[in-house]
Structure 1
Amino acid sequence: MTAGRRLFAWLGAALLAVVLTACAGLPTSGPVNPGRAPGEAEGSQEVFFRPVGPLPGATPQQIVEGFIRAGSAPGAGARWERAREFLAPGFRSAWRPSAGVIIDLENDRVPVETGEGLVSVSLTVVGTTDARGSYQQADEAATTLSYELAQQDDGEWRITAAPDGVVLDRALFPSVFHEYAVMYFSPGWEYLVPDVRWFPTTTAATSIVDALVNRSKSDWLDGAVFSAFPEGVEARPTVPVSAGVAEVELTESVLASDTQALDRMQAQLEASLATANVTAVQMSVDGTPLEATAAPVRSTRIPGAPLVLTELGFGYLAGDELEPVAGLSDVMTTVDPVAIQTSADRDLAALLLRTGEVARVRDDRTSVVLDERAGLLDPTIGPGGGVWSVPREDPSALRVFPLAGEPIDVEGAFPDATGIEAFSLSRDGTRLAAVVTAGGRSVLWVAGVGRGADEGTIVLDEPLLLSVLGGSGVDVAWLDDQTVGVLVRQDDTTVVLEQAVGGPGTTVVAPRDAASLAGGTSLSNVRLRGEDGALYVRRGSTWQQAAAGIRVLATQQGAPQ
């Protein structure tokens, strides 16, 4: 066989075989059901890949290409046994596939033999994950990976040196790794906050528990959230799951925890493992079950009806009628807002007035102007009633106006940003999303909200880049606990970016004149307001006008308990 034919045959054999499990019971009739929504837990149907191993006579370049393809098959226990077949025996145990993932564009890969037993592969990187499973967006950066190979006693080439981690094409990545939410508490133990991680599905439960109990939080969130698991408590290396029940074995030091702490640990475990289809959790020490009941936490879900200001007043829109919000609807008639965000208990709201001032109103029908600086953006309100305000031209001048006391200048606000177009606090108050201008580009950042060493200080941690927008940001809103929506104007097109915090994003074309957006009960319930007052609701990938005459489309930070 000629070298050309050998290469063609090898590449043909190396095509991945896709095996769909749980197909035997697929229905052949009945209704068509919608697919999984972003962030929704995976079902029982999984996709596994079976790349071929090294073929006899493969060249060093072919061995490296096959090794990279084998990154799509973590296998049982995520040991990447297939990929290790491409490695020399002395290197197999040294290579660490769990070190992270490089997410690239497969069509851009360029492998080159640079010398005898030397191969380099040029990649276009669009994202990475680290050893903790934390995802980081990359701006299609070019990088080169180097591999060393040696001929074995049988004459076959095998890899003797390679970077740790695996390489996966962008389209393949979400089939091999799935997103899971590792849950931490907000200050005050009121909310559970997701720290999204990406793990192979074959080790989901074990990876989630290891991340929660044994490893640290994502760097950008470290100062904003808390864990009930104290220092010194560790989880055993495997988490068996039987009939939906996960057995989490902890070290003896957990026995020093009181009932309240154990209940909070139980809440973190149950909520974290629920994203891997675990229905119950049993903590134990040396096989002895621990008695714990998940501590209650507050939901961040909001009502299904849009909250709007029209010529009829302020309230929830139901057909042609408005359902008023007690106290707040009355006070809205005494002010002239162009932006409204209500607190979770609906007893407070942050407003941008038509005069350009930021104000706070209460359900006792009182209002107070908080900020009179020039060029203020739409404000946002936190769980404690503090109103956040910032001038468009001065991102570092971010200020919080608490219910009592003096205004607080936020430390570390938007470093290196020269402008800010929109911002919004997450409903749990732990994260701030913002569209800023940095390096001459419009980008979406998210930062953890921490507390400084001095009492009463507020600090923004180092921001995480979520997306480069490719246009100007018009508005930003939290669509759920782990998704930020951004209205982006790109030349003659307006799009809605639904950006996962800790994952990739998706875009959908929006009405050209869309001026503001608000979340609903799910990602499919996003609402837009046009410049002419039209209210649009999403239907699949299209938008339908649902109402007219909307003066303000309000955003909500939750609902009363």
Structure 2
Amino acid sequence: MRHPRTTSATGMPRRATARPVGLLTALLILCLLLPACTAIPTDGPVGVISASDGETGGVAAVFDPRGPAVDASPARILVDFITAGTGTSDGYSVARQYLTPELQDTWTPEERIVLFRSDPRVEAREAEGAYQIQLETTGIIDAAGVRTNSVVPATETMDVRLVQVDGQWRIDEIPDGIMLAQSSARDILLSHNLYFYSSTYRYWVPDARWFVRRTGVTARVVGAMLAGPVPYLQGSVTSAFPEGVNLARDSVPITSGTATVELSSQVLENATNLSLQQMNQQLQVNLLGLNDVTSVEMTTDQPIELGPPSPDLVVPELSPDVGGEQVAVSGDELVSVRNGQATPIEGLPSVAELGPRDPAASVSGSAYAFVDAARKALYVAAPGSEARRIAVGTALTQPSFDTENWVWSARSVGGRSEVLAVPPGGAERDAAVLTASWLGDQKVLDLRVSRDGARALVVTDRGGAAEVVLSGITRSPEGVPQTLASPLSIPTAVDVDTAKWAGQSTIVASAIGATATVEPVVLHLDGEQEMMATLDGVLGISAGADAEEMFYAQAGDTLYRRIGNSWVDEHIDVVDPAFPG
């Protein structure tokens, strides 16, 4: 039997508090080889506009909204202003008509985007012209395009003030930003990954952002990239562009598919052919496919010459290939699972006496790691050599290999968890124990290093409440793991005990329960989620390069493969499957 994870007395697990890229990869390599409404109520009393019953979606997208109606009441002005915020053309010129002349000049519409469901509620306060807008929010997008979702809808209240201008009510005070109904968000917003280099320059690391679909989005994508990564990735990824470089103008013209990016003169300070070519690569991967961009040209006052190809230039992997082979346990031995069959691993000595559980495989397929049944010892093994113990502890988590073949796991020490990484060929005395002050008294249930080596996917538990988080991995110049950065929380709508990478921008997560009916979930880094079909008795999950064709769940002593929104029994008698990584 598989060593069980902790569940409640009822057998139920604890309560938890991007897409295919093959074409983009092909385009990138090719370019590197080339030279160069539901309506909001507006009638009735001025004092209150009530929220509707159920989820109507609130304000529908109106791409050509109307300006203020003559003699409109303050409440009507406010709800029509929310609708006008969906009209992004000409710098939100229609929405600005609802503001006083002074506020028109200072209001910043994309400083903060509030996503909401149901109809907004507008309520009058005691002072003349004082109102509140009350929203049932589902998420917030900040000025950098970073989206934060709520586990359950939250409530936000905005205090606003209106005054009369030439006998007409206009908004004189309101927080910067616009308000969008969740049902209309996809019509107004664009999800787009920024990309930064991993510390080794061998992989692209995605940084999910949201941008308003309007003229100038290409320039805003470049500007966001130049401003740097989100906080949880700072220190774990790098940009080829020197700090302080920005766009020399607020537009990026696109002519016959070529985006001309005019940069400030700092881009040439201390620049080498290699650094310029790395900058060009980074621009290409960030812009290819956006607004039909097929190539990129960097300029200052004139086109920047990249020079002859540098022998040190590496084309990073956009989506590391982990293949279709898994490692699993069958009859207390490690086996290979591929094409619906489990077979012995050629040349690997027996490990049955160690009671292997939760194995992992390196991406190269030359090394394996596992814990024993008591989760008190961590081993590595390879074809042609006996298994070797490399660490001991309590409640060791399933090991994970990074891109440099360091073996990662977490263990319990004095009631808290610590994360350790053991170098290739090393032992516990050589392990790096990573600083992660944010863990506090949380217990690590699952830990997976991303296949670019820059991020750790962690499932934690604090007092029975589980959470999925992402943390950037910082390393020394020699590549030694040092710290886990302050994390980004990924809210989930269902119970979660385990989570795995399914590609670079997608995570699959699930509860664990031998007697429970489980509903796994796909978590996209841009904040979108999708539920899978339910499955009884899930004991573990595994994922390869995507969540569609390469996602498996262990239920009992067999594997189920996800096909669309269904599960197909593969009739493979194995436990603890895992794709490389």
Provide TM-score, normalisation by structure 2.
Answer: 0.81
User: Given the alignment of the two structures, is residue 406 of structure 1 paired with residue 427 of structure 2, yes or no?
Assistant: no
Q: Which residue of 2 aligns with 1:348?
A: 367
**1:187, CA displacement in angstroms?**
1.0
Q: Which residue of 1 aligns with 2:255?
A: 242
Partner SS state of residue 396, structure 1: strand
Contact 2:421-2:481 within 8 A present in 1 as well: no
Q: Which residue of 2 aligns with 1:374?
A: 394
Q: 1:284 aligns with which of 299, 307, 313?
A: 299
**1:449, CA displacement in angstroms?**
1.0
**1:385, CA displacement in angstroms?**
1.5
- Structure 1 Cα separation of the partners of residues 183 and 516 of structure 2: 28
- Structure 1 Cα separation of the partners of residues 351 and 92 of structure 2: 60
Change (3 A) 1:434 1:264: same
Bigger Cα displacement from structure 2, 433-442 vs 536-545: 433-442
Residue type at the aligned position of 1:340: P
- Structure 2 Cα separation of the partners of residues 418 and 231 of structure 1: 36
Partner SS state of residue 281, structure 1: strand
**1:474, CA displacement in angstroms?**
3.2
Bigger Cα displacement from structure 2, 541-550 vs 192-201: 541-550
Contact 2:562-2:568 within 8 A present in 1 as well: yes
**1:185, CA displacement in angstroms?**
0.9
Residue type at the aligned position of 2:210: W
Deviations 1:182-207 (A, max 9, x none): 11111111111011110012233111
Bigger Cα displacement from structure 2, 399-408 vs 179-188: 399-408
- Structure 2 Cα separation of the partners of residues 286 and 476 of structure 1: 49
Q: 1:511 aligns with which of 511, 515, 535?
A: 535
Map 1:12-51 → 2, pairs under 5 A: 49-51=63-65
Q: 1:476 aligns with which of 491, 496, 499?
A: 499
**1:508, CA displacement in angstroms?**
1.7
Residue type at the aligned position of 1:141: A
**1:221, CA displacement in angstroms?**
1.1
- Structure 1 Cα separation of the partners of residues 502 and 382 of structure 2: 24
Q: Which residue of 2 aligns with 1:148?
A: 161
User: Given the alignment of the two structures, is residue 165 of structure 1 paired with residue 188 of structure 2, yes or no?
Assistant: no
**1:73, CA displacement in angstroms?**
2.5
Partner SS state of residue 83, structure 2: helix
Unaligned stretches of 5+ in structure 1?
A: 19-47
Partner SS state of residue 276, structure 2: helix
Bigger Cα displacement from structure 2, 448-457 vs 524-533: 448-457
Q: 2:482 aligns with which of 451, 458, 471?
A: 458
Contact 2:232-2:471 within 8 A present in 1 as well: yes
Change (3 A) 1:136 1:353: same
Change (3 A) 1:484 1:266: same
User: Given the alignment of the two structures, is residue 196 of structure 1 paired with residue 208 of structure 2, yes or no?
Assistant: yes
Residue type at the aligned position of 1:246: A
Q: 1:261 aligns with which of 265, 275, 284?
A: 275
- Structure 1 Cα separation of the partners of residues 567 and 350 of structure 2: 32
- Structure 1 Cα separation of the partners of residues 231 and 161 of structure 2: 33
- Structure 1 Cα separation of the partners of residues 115 and 557 of structure 2: 41
Map 1:518-529 → 2, pairs under 5 A: 518-529=542-553
Q: Which residue of 1 aligns with 2:20?
A: none
Change (3 A) 1:245 1:518: farther
- Structure 2 Cα separation of the partners of residues 364 and 508 of structure 1: 41
Q: Which residue of 1 aligns with 2:408?
A: 388
Change (3 A) 1:52 1:350: farther
Change (3 A) 1:302 1:264: same
Q: Which residue of 1 aligns with 2:555?
A: 531
Residue type at the aligned position of 1:158: R
Percent identity between matched residues is 23
Q: Which residue of 1 aligns with 2:452?
A: 428
Change (3 A) 1:523 1:470: closer
Partner SS state of residue 160, structure 2: strand
Residue type at the aligned position of 2:505: Q
Higher relative contact order (Cα pairs below 8 Å, separated by 6+ residues): 2
- Structure 1 Cα separation of the partners of residues 423 and 504 of structure 2: 23
RMSD: 3.0
User: Given the alignment of the two structures, is residue 110 of structure 1 paired with residue 121 of structure 2, yes or no?
Assistant: yes
Pairs aligned (count): 514
Contact 2:132-2:158 within 8 A present in 1 as well: yes
- Structure 2 Cα separation of the partners of residues 175 and 288 of structure 1: 36
- Structure 2 Cα separation of the partners of residues 53 and 350 of structure 1: 65
- Structure 2 Cα separation of the partners of residues 411 and 173 of structure 1: 38
- Structure 1 Cα separation of the partners of residues 416 and 320 of structure 2: 27
**1:520, CA displacement in angstroms?**
2.9
- Structure 1 Cα separation of the partners of residues 346 and 264 of structure 2: 51
Change (3 A) 1:5 1:390: closer
User: Given the alignment of the two structures, is residue 95 of structure 1 paired with residue 114 of structure 2, yes or no?
Assistant: no
Contact 1:181-1:194 within 8 A present in 2 as well: yes
Bigger Cα displacement from structure 2, 286-295 vs 236-245: 286-295
Change (3 A) 1:91 1:455: same
Q: Which residue of 2 aligns with 1:25?
A: none
Unaligned stretches of 5+ in structure 2?
A: 1-41, 52-56
**1:533, CA displacement in angstroms?**
2.3
Q: Which residue of 1 aligns with 2:219?
A: 206
Deviations 1:119-158 (A, max 9, x none): 11122332212111112233433221111111111x2211
Change (3 A) 1:331 1:251: farther
